[in-house]
Structure 1
Amino acid sequence: MHQKVDRQKCRTVPNFALYGADVEQPWVDMVHHERITERLGQFGFEIAPHVHDTLVQLLFVTQGTGETFIDGKTWTIEAPCLIVAPARSVHGFRFASDIGGHVITATQSAIESVVMTTARELLPFIRGPAVLPLDPVHHRGMPLEPLFEAIRREAESNERWLFTAGIALMITLFVQVARLSEQAQFAARSGQTAAAIRIERFRALLDERCRTRHPVATYAAAMGITTGQLSRFCKDAFGVSAIEAIDARSIHEAKRLLGYSTLSVKEIASDLGFHDAAYFGRFFRKQTGLRPTDYRAGIHGRTR
């Protein structure tokens, strides 16, 4: 269902600073957290279309159903999902009474000013409305609940550098938005095929098990497919075999530990599931062309 919004008539849409708060109130240095029920319950779980001139809102719906309408488009909401309503977007909500979750409101320009100097590619994900369904079992990246809770604690504290910490956490949150959006785009391009879903499952398993050495058969069994199917999926999606994908994830973790930890090469080998440090050294050199000690020396030389 679509509902067109005439931008020339936006003057008739209520301009709220925060759920009906005084629009003249300055929110230059604000990151605000609420439970969804804290505000929506006061309005019968329905917020009419309105605009925030300077504020971006993110809703993490952890339970319940409903719908949201942003700039003329209506989305059906089913938990768990993430909603992004950027500044100057006309948006509203209609939820069932069993709705639950978090609402974060922050000054969009402050987030953008930091992102523009660090990761400009995040700007479209801050400026564009989105409703992103979440896979509660196989979601990759940082879990959202602890991140929203961290923002809540900062917002409710009165500590020094409160706003700086809040903005840092908001940027982390938008990284998750970007990753979820890219996953959704990949799935859409693949026609929501079983192959696309399985590739995302494989990626999640690689992240979970990158510090252990498992054969392709173990991954395939966890996904309920054959080793041949898994290798075909990997070839189609990544251009490499399943074992090459597993090895690449191990090398990525090895490089991180060599570059940013004080663990010895032997300890790193053990942490990554290699029972023989010498074998780990040969494996690393085959994949990278360098011995682990040479790689570490090169990293440290560049960061001095």
Structure 2
Amino acid sequence: MVRSIPNYALYGDQAQPGWSNSFNFEWIPQRSAPYNWEIQPHVHDAFIQLLYLTHGAVTLQLDNVRQQVSAPCLLLVPAGTVHSFHFERDTDGPVITATQKPLESLAAVVMPELVATIRTPTVVALDATTRYTEALMPLFLAVEQESRIHARGQVAAGMSLLTALLVQVSRICDSRQPAAMPVHSRKAAQIERFRALVDARFRTRCSVESYADELGVTPGQLTRLCREVLGMSSLDVINARVMHEAQRDLVYSITSIQQLAALLGFEDEAYFSRFFRKHSGQTPKEFRRLALEQMAQAEAGAGKG
């Protein structure tokens, strides 16, 4: 039987679209206590999570690696990483969930080496007395405050604060090597390489066979690996990347649908529209109109707050 791994925006909530530039702040007990402190294996296709355990302990799984850690510690879970948590009942600390691609884009401009930090599943034990650790909670609390105000520019301020927070995480990891080790397995490394290839080539509409050849495996092996680690087929991974880019461009650019189809490697607009509707239930034109309406309503609501 093929294992199906749930895809959430936040555990237990329906996944949000990957084009959405958003972030969420909460405390560990808020989401974990209602589930008896047990968060079952799941994945976020578009969202990175950063957890700062200030009290308690957790048994966690990141992809195929399982371990136990105690507070104080940091857990960084990039998009596409299968993860689960079993928290001790006295566990507390802040959790931030944010769209990963905008963070990567911002990091690529201000600190390119930070992109690798964002993409690497990491668990790091903390020394509470170091200056980098002392800088963490004020930044987490600043993100919490920004998440509560619902004011104009909230996303810009939030993403900037998150970038500053990730800089501190990178500094901590650098200062504590080899204690802060990236969490990897052979299968996770293969998946990471596959996703990197897809990121580089998705606009060319490469086949599963071509990706498998590049990775030195058969198409069947690649699909089995994707289903085991990500809960989806290799073709689903490729199509999800195309849809992610299509949705972002439809919302955040004025590119025509015909031009977008060509940029994404489709032979014509009609073929792209059929593909998009198959995977979203809407035509590109319908999706763009509804998404822009939703954004306008959200902006109007924030302006009244």
TM-score (norm 2): 0.56
Q: Which one of 11, 15, 38 corresponds to residue 23 of structure 1? A: 15
- Which aligned pairs between 1:146-161 and structure 2 lie closer than 5 A? 146-161=138-153
- Which aligned pairs between 1:51-130 and structure 2 lie closer than 5 A? 51-130=43-122
**Cα pair 2:173 2:180 within 8 Å, conserved:** no
Distance of 2:90 and 2:4 partners within structure 1:
31
Distance of 1:146 and 1:102 partners within structure 2:
11
Matched residue, 1:43: 35
Distance of 1:75 and 1:95 partners within structure 2:
12
Deviation at 1:73? 0.9
Matched residue, 1:173: 165
State the SS of the aligned residue for 2:54: strand
State the SS of the aligned residue for 1:23: coil
Change (3 A) 1:50 1:184: same
Q: What amino acid sits opposite 1:176 in the alignment?
A: Q
Relative contact order higher in (CA < 8 Å, ≥ 6 apart): 2
Deviation at 1:24? 4.7
Deviation at 1:54? 0.2
Deviation at 1:83? 0.5
Matched residue, 1:136: 128
Q: What amino acid sits opposite 2:175 in the alignment?
A: Q
**Cα pair 2:78 2:121 within 8 Å, conserved:** yes
Deviation at 1:20? 1.8
Count of equivalent residues: 181
Deviation at 1:184? 2.1
Deviation at 1:100? 0.4
TM-score (norm 1): 0.56
Unaligned runs of 5+ in 2: 182-305
Q: Deviations over 1:125-155 (max 9, x none)?
A: 1000111111112343652111100000001
**Cα pair 1:66 1:77 within 8 Å, conserved:** yes
Q: What amino acid sits opposite 2:128 in the alignment?
A: P
**Cα pair 1:65 1:95 within 8 Å, conserved:** yes
Which has the larger Rg?
1
Deviation at 1:119? 1.2
**Cα pair 2:77 2:120 within 8 Å, conserved:** yes
**Cα pair 1:84 1:130 within 8 Å, conserved:** yes
Q: Deviations over 1:144-184 (max 9, x none)?
A: 11110000000111121100000101111111111111122
Distance of 1:25 and 1:142 partners within structure 2:
34
Percent identity over the alignment is 39
Deviation at 1:94? 0.5
Q: Which runs of 4+ in 1 moved over 6 A?
A: none
Distance of 2:178 and 2:83 partners within structure 1:
26
Q: What amino acid sits opposite 1:110 in the alignment?
A: P
- Which aligned pairs between 1:276-295 and structure 2 lie closer than 5 A? none
Distance of 1:133 and 1:91 partners within structure 2:
18
Give the alignment's Cα RMSD to 1 decimal.
Answer: 2.1
**Cα pair 1:142 1:176 within 8 Å, conserved:** no
Q: What amino acid sits opposite 2:107 in the alignment?
A: V
State the SS of the aligned residue for 2:123: strand
**Cα pair 2:127 2:133 within 8 Å, conserved:** no
Distance of 1:139 and 1:73 partners within structure 2:
30
